[in-house]
Chains A and B, each alone.
Chain A
Amino acid sequence: MNCNNAQQKILLQSSGELSSAEYDILKEHLGKCKLCREFKQSLEEISLIAHKTMPNKLPSAEIINNIKQQARKKSLRRVLIFRKPFIQWAVAAAIIMIAISNWSLVHNISEENHSDISNMYAILTIMTYPSEIIDNENSTSDLPDMEDLFQEFENNIENEISPTPEILQSLPAKFPQSRNNYGHPQKIYG
């Protein structure tokens, strides 16, 4: 190992980037080279003093505040974007929970409540359908199986209630044509 190589290894050793095998070779060189020992000592001393004399200056408080303000703004925006679907699903879940809890009263539901159930169905449908499918009436994409969901409603209410035909008729118009042929109104309520 020549001195140029050794001094590079000394620098790498100071930053923890030297392997133990390389360090063994370096140690051997240092044992017999006064020049490189002096270089190593200089590095240690100058680095220490320089670090101690690091300017005690800081950025202005205004700059720090600006940065923190921007961090807050950006974080808020990110959280809103990130959690938007979550909020949608949370609302949908809350509606389902409320619906389920109300089913204990379902036996007492009269014809006047039909519109409430239909509205709930409409809300659930809208909340769970991808917006791009809802927006595009010609979409032929596979849709979430709302039939099963509605069937569940149906079983629970034991056919004692039914949304008004007007509301049921109005719902399919919001969805792709293929969904209009499910025959729910006729099958369940007809």
Chain B
Amino acid sequence: MEKSDQQLLEQYKDGDINAMELLVEKYKRPLFAYLFKMTGNNRYSDEIFQETWLRVIKNIGKFEQQNFYGWLVRIAHNLLLDKIKKKKADYSLDADIGDGETPWVETIPAPDAAKNYNLDDEYLAERINNAIIQLPTEQREVFLLRTYNDLSFKEIAEAQKISINTALARMKYALEKLRKILKDEYYEL
């Protein structure tokens, strides 16, 4: 039977190194996918991914919440914000995020960001990836945390330090934009 995150964390605290390795293996794909889609860049994704786990390891004694992955994503989100602030020169300002809130710094995905998919219909996959990348950063992040990482809206709100209503609004706008972008390719949407 697969052990819960809480059990693995307790095992690691008791000295079982394999428990932490299992957690890294368990979450490496969704976490990296989220980072990759947010930065559009392998190197940045690698850096933030590593720093996220190092912080987890360093602060494991302080972790007292129920949802380990929510905590992991919150750390990654904060590091992502730091990275964006530091690398402002590589980004452009997003003037319109559609929900009436203050514009945020938008990432410019690397050219290869949309070329990694795992679907038979490569063309559709590419279109979807491109559509996701076109979303404003805040909306994209909520969309990715919900669809890739299966976080609840409450967890997303906690990770982003926003209200649950804001998280819901961002998801709604993201869906509307994706529908619009994909309309021509996927008519039933």
Contacts and interface: CB of A to CB of B under 8 A. Distances in A.
Contact of B153 (A12, A39, A68): A12
Interface in A122-149: none
Interface string B58-89: 10110000000000000000000000000000
Contacts of B116: 55-57
Interface string B134-171: 00000000010011100111100000000001001001
Q: Interface of chain A, helix or strand or loop or mixed?
A: helix
Given A46-B189, A58-B32, A63-B50, A53 B20 contact: no
Contact of B119 (A8, A52, A57, A82): A52
A39 B36 contact: no
Interface stretch (A20-28, A72-80, A98-106, A174-182): A72-80
Contacts of B179: 42, 46
B: contact size bracket: 35 or more
Contact of B46 (A46, A51, A60, A78): A60
A37 to B, nearest CB: 13
Contacts of A56: 116-118
A13 to B, nearest CB: 11
Contacts, number: 130
A50 B117 contact: no
A16 B57 contact: no
B42 interface: yes
Given A11-B153, A51-B148, A78-B13, A67 B54 contact: yes
The interface centre, meaning the residue of A39, A58, A67 with most chain B CB atoms within 10 A of its CB, is A67
A1 interface: no
A45 B175 contact: no
B152 A74 contact: no
7 contacts: A11-B168, A53-B125, A54-B29, A54-B33, A56-B117, A68-B24, A71-B53
